[in-house]
A = this chain, B = another copy of it.
Amino acid sequence: MSSDAGDAARTAPGSAAALRIANQRRVLAVLLDRGTQPATQADITRETGLAAGTVSTIVRELAAAGVVSTVAGSGRRGTTVRLARGAGLVAGVDFGHNHVAVALGDMSGEVLGEDRRTLEPGHPYAEGLQAASDMLDTLLAAAGAERSELRNIGMGLPAPLSDGVVMSSAIEPGWVGVNARDEASRVFGVDVLIENDANLGALAEHRHGHGRGHANVVFVKVSSGVGAGLILDNQLFRGTAGTSGEIGHLTLNDQGPLCRCGSRGCLEAYAASGTALTMMHDQMPEAGVDEIIEAAKQGNVSALRVFEDAGLHLGWGLATVTNLLDPGVILVGGDMSHAGELLLESARLGLRRHVLAGTSTTPVLVAELGDRASMVGALVLAIDATDLLPA
């Protein structure tokens, strides 16, 4: 939802008009929290603490503006309310090393359609944006919607970002130095919010995955790179310059293998998918991560060892995060998480081995939303950035 600053521009703070807007926001907050589950007016009255008459008035105003839809129930208080299509639509876009995924959603968080395509690694950014734009057009057409209905688009990139600019990325070389926010806004014709893909995964898991109900959630994406998104005290924590969560470059061994970042013995050098491919190259020169996982499941001892070693190092990094942040749950996503317990069992051992004894029993699980996490997080980002208050 939008800021106090916007409200202050409309009304004198502390005035009756400001109070009315604040009360509308309370009602909208309940509906956003409910998502696709409709709330009765009695629910809204209870959850906001507002008077029943005030809630009725606000619901009537919001329905007249098309922001909510109502379905009559038993009596006025039994009428159910949910965010309506008239509140606008959002899209979520997630770029990876060799894919782009796009989802179209409404303000209740309902996904109206989604698609995923393979991209060439190292694709120029303009090519990636064009592919996403084409996919979005197809999704809009299928939903019978216009681009003008889009209020905001959330977009994820596997790179550190500062004020919309891609600062560096070995994973997305075609995007480095690009103001991704401005370029995407131009191509899509609507405001775009840019976020690191691991941050989006954390947002998604906190709202719709295994992170629900936890105030402190660490989401770790283990793919070509290793990065973390942090939900701390129920908020996405981005850091001072937007570069928090660089778990992949924790030094585990300062005499270890060189990492592409210029340091040595980084977690990423032990646990990223590229390391698994390199280790298995002689045995399985053409294999991708999923083929190596399959080989491990068939009992290939080398493949098993690849995930065991990756997991032990991942767990060491998770112990570091746990010592510093004491999260309620740690969720692992990305290509390497397809290995499931083959990776996580040794990750838990590594965690236990390196965490301060007696201070934590943080669970480590595979992310619930799987490969969709960052895309769903991009939808959440777009919804959160939209001001639903009628003008």
**Residues on A facing B (Cβ under 8 Å):** 8, 12-14, 19, 22-23, 26, 48-51, 54, 160, 167-168, 214-216, 228, 230, 232-233, 235, 237-247, 249-251, 253-254, 261-263, 316, 319-321, 323-328, 353-360, 362
In-complex Cβ contact of A14 among B23, B262, B324, B353 (8 A):
B23
Residues of B within 8 A of A242 (CB): 326
**Are A49 and B324 CB-contacts (below 8 A) given A241-B360, A354-B254?**
no
Q: Which residue of B lies closest to A238 (CB)?
A: B326
Chain B residues whose CB sits within 8 angstroms of the CB of A49 once the complex forms: 8, 12-14
Question: Which of B13, B168, B239, B327 is in CB contact (< 8 Å) with A325?
Answer: B239
Q: Are A246 and B14 in contact (CB under 8 A)?
A: no
Q: Are B246 and A359 in contact (CB under 8 A)?
A: yes
| Cross-chain contact B246 with A324 (CB below 8 angstroms) | yes
Complex A-B: 25 CB contacts under 8 Å: A13-B48, A14-B26, A160-B356, A167-B359, A168-B358, A214-B240, A216-B239, A216-B240, A233-B237, A239-B326, A239-B327, A241-B326, A241-B359, A243-B360, A244-B324, A246-B323, A246-B356, A247-B323, A249-B323, A251-B320, A253-B253, A254-B353, A254-B354, A320-B324, A324-B324
User: What is the CA–CA distance of A316 and B356 in the complex, to the nearest angstrom?
Assistant: 18
Among A240, A242, A246, A253, the one with the most B-chain Cβ atoms within 10 Å of its Cβ is: A240
List residues of chain B with CB within 8 A of the CB of A356. Answer: 160, 243, 246, 249, 261, 263
Copies in the complex: 2
Residue on B nearest A217 in the bound complex, by CB:
B240
Complex alpha-carbon distance, A214 and B167, angstroms: 22
CA distance A172 to B232 in the complex (A): 29
How far is A233 from B249 in the complex, measured between Cα atoms in Å?
A: 23
17 other contacts beyond A12-B49, A243-B356, with CB at 8 A cut-off? Answer: A12-B51, A14-B26, A14-B50, A14-B54, A160-B356, A230-B324, A239-B326, A240-B327, A240-B362, A241-B360, A242-B326, A243-B360, A246-B356, A246-B359, A249-B356, A251-B319, A254-B354
